[in-house]
Amino acid sequence: MKIWLMMFGILGVGGVALALYIGVQSSNSHPTPEEALHAERHGREVIRVLDTVFHDNGNAAYVVYITEDNQLEESLAVASFDGNRFGWRYRSRINLGDTDLIPYGNFTAAGGFVAGYAPDEASAVRFDDYHAMLTPVDGQNVWILHDPSSDDLETASIRFYNSNGAPIDID
């Protein structure tokens, strides 16, 4: 009899723990990355969503958007999201700043991704040996690299290529 009571007690506690886990996962998830962005409270207003880019693995998405900035009226930002069976959850964000102030060779890294600006004529971006995703938004090209290693960030070499595959000189 004691064994049965212990088994029911263990199953009951396990069931409650599972229900709490599922509740937390589903309450922090949203049907789309854009909805997850608007629900996230990172202290900056989302003024306008420009584009959403999905990584090939299907479990990561990046939303490029205009946000307010402390020093600028508007700033370009990229937020990353993880997909799960309940929807999309906010992961991190990068503020790229004003499109007129950032040189093309620079990048910003946070929370498992890297982003930066590419020249208008760029049709491909290589970050060392990796192909970065490229999305034209609001008159600018933004590139995004999913999940680089910390070693890649230390020795990064960014190269831009035009539609003919020729390197673009950014100096």
Q: What is the pLDDT of residues 73-131, one digit of tens each?
A: 788 899 999 999 999 999 999 988 876 666 677 788 888 899 999 998 999 999 888 89
**What is the residue whose two structure tokens read 């034209």?**
136
- Taking a C-beta distance cutoff of 8 angstroms, is the pair 95, 115 a contact? no
Q: Is the pLDDT of residue 11 over 70?
A: no
The whole-angstrom separation of Cα 145 and Cα 112 is: 9
Q: What does pTM read for this prediction?
A: 0.78
Q: Which long-range contacts (CB under 8 A, 24 or more apart) does 61-65 make?
A: 61/33, 61/88, 62/33, 62/113, 62/115, 62/133, 62/144, 62/146, 63/33, 63/34, 63/37, 64/135, 64/137, 64/142, 65/37
